[in-house]
Structures are given as structure tokens and as C-alpha cells.
């Protein structure tokens, strides 16, 4: 049994904990430990998450299994093109992967995108991340490649889009 709730600033630490538990498993095989630590601290700092939620820069959804948070998604209109919504983050605790929660959250974000009158959902995925095949099954296709500097490191991503 699951429920989805909109995260508030009170959920920042929960989001940080899920990210920490999933990033090491997800990125450990493809990134150096120093890069993972740096990016977690950069992207998931409590201050940054608090500001994103407080200032409505990103909406976070929490998926709860039996009232325990096990997954989250973060999305917003895309800065450069408000006609496109961007799925910034989607992570499920390793113990819950395969239960369909990622699909449920993508479908929820897709519905929020449609509710906002938009019909394109976009995301970035590391070019070596196995999640790419999952996103393809969800109807996303590679639009282009993008290399993004984050501190002294690079995120080597595919930008994938889904027409809703």
C-alpha cells in the first residue's frame, strides 16, 4: 500500500536520507566516491532543498509505503522553456526497486505536467546509468547529450524527453 504526498520543508531530511541511500548504490559502479560525495553535498544540501521547496523552485513528491517514505521525485517547469517540465530527481530506496514506484512517480509527475497545460516531460540521466532503459520503457527517448560541470566534476548525461 502506498501514498504520494507533496513534500514540505519538514521533509528535507527525509529527501536527503533517501538520496544518500540510493546514490551510493546507483552511482558507485560508475563514479568515483569523491564525486558522489561532492555531488550529494552540492545537490542535496539541506539549505538548497529548503530553498527549492520554500520558494517553489521545485516540487517534491514523496512516495510512502506503509507510511514510510521510500521514494521521491522533484520536478519543475524548465527554466529555459516553460513549455517543458523537467523531472530533476527520481530515486527509490534500493530495497523497494522493482515494485513499480518509479513508474508511479513518473506517471504522477506526467499528470501534474498535463494539469499545468504542458505536454513534454524531460529528464537527464547519466550516460552509464542503467536507469536509461527504464526511462525508455516509460516512453522517454534521447533528445541529445549534455555535459554539465558540477564543481570540479562533470555529469555526462543524456537528455531524454517524453511527449505526453
Would you give per-residue pLDDT tens digits along the chain (164 residues)? 899 999 999 999 999 999 999 999 999 999 999 999 999 999 999 999 999 999 999 999 999 999 999 999 999 998 777 789 999 999 999 999 899 999 999 999 999 999 999 999 999 999 999 999 999 999 999 999 999 999 999 999 999 999 99
The pLDDT, as a whole number, for residue 57 is: 96
The pLDDT, as a whole number, for residue 83 is: 85
Q: What is the CATH number of the domain that holds 96?
A: 3.40.630.30
The pLDDT, as a whole number, for residue 44 is: 97
Nine cell digits for residue 114: 498535463
Rounded CA gap, 110 and 89, in Å?
14
Of 134, 128, 133, 122, the C-alpha closest to 157 is 128
> Interior CA angle at 136 toward 160 and 155, to 5°?
40
The pLDDT, as a whole number, for residue 155 is: 92
Rounded CA gap, 150 and 133, in Å?
25
Rounded CA gap, 159 and 19, in Å?
21
Please give the tally of structural domains in the chain: 1
The pLDDT, as a whole number, for residue 15 is: 98
Which residues constitute the domain of residue 125? Answer: 2-163
Write the DSSP assignment of 43-94 as a string of letters: HS-HHHHHHHHHTTSSEEEEEEETTEEEEEEEEEE-SS-TTEEEEEEEEE-G
Rounded CA gap, 90 and 9, in Å?
18
Amino acid at each position: 500500500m502506498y501514498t504520494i504526498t507533496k513534500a514540505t520543508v519538514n521533509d528535507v531530511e527525509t529527501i536527503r536520507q533517501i538520496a544518500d541511500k540510493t546514490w551510493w548504490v546507483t552511482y558507485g559502479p560508475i563514479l568515483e566516491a569523491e564525486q558522489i560525495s561532492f555531488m550529494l553535498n552540492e545537490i542535496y544540501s539541506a539549505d538548497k532543498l529548503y530553498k527549492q521547496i520554500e520558494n517553489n523552485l521545485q516540487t517534491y513528491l514523496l512516495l510512502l509505503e506503509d507510511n514510510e517514505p521510500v521514494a521521491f521525485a522533484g520536478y519543475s517547469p524548465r527554466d529555459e522553456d516553460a513549455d517543458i517540465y523537467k523531472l530533476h530527481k527520481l530515486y527509490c530506496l534500493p530495497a523497494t526497486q522493482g515494485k513499480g514506484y518509479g513508474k508511479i512517480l513518473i506517471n504522477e509527475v506526467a499528470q501534474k505536467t498535463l494539469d499545468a497545460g504542458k505536454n513534454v516531460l524531460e529528464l537527464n540521466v547519466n550516460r552509464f546509468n542503467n536507469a536509461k532503459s527504464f526511462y525508455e520503457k516509460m516512453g522517454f527517448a534521447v533528445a541529445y547529450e549534455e555535459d554539465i560541470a558540477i564543481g570540479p566534476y562533470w555529469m555526462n548525461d543524456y537528455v531524454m524527453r517524453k511527449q505526453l
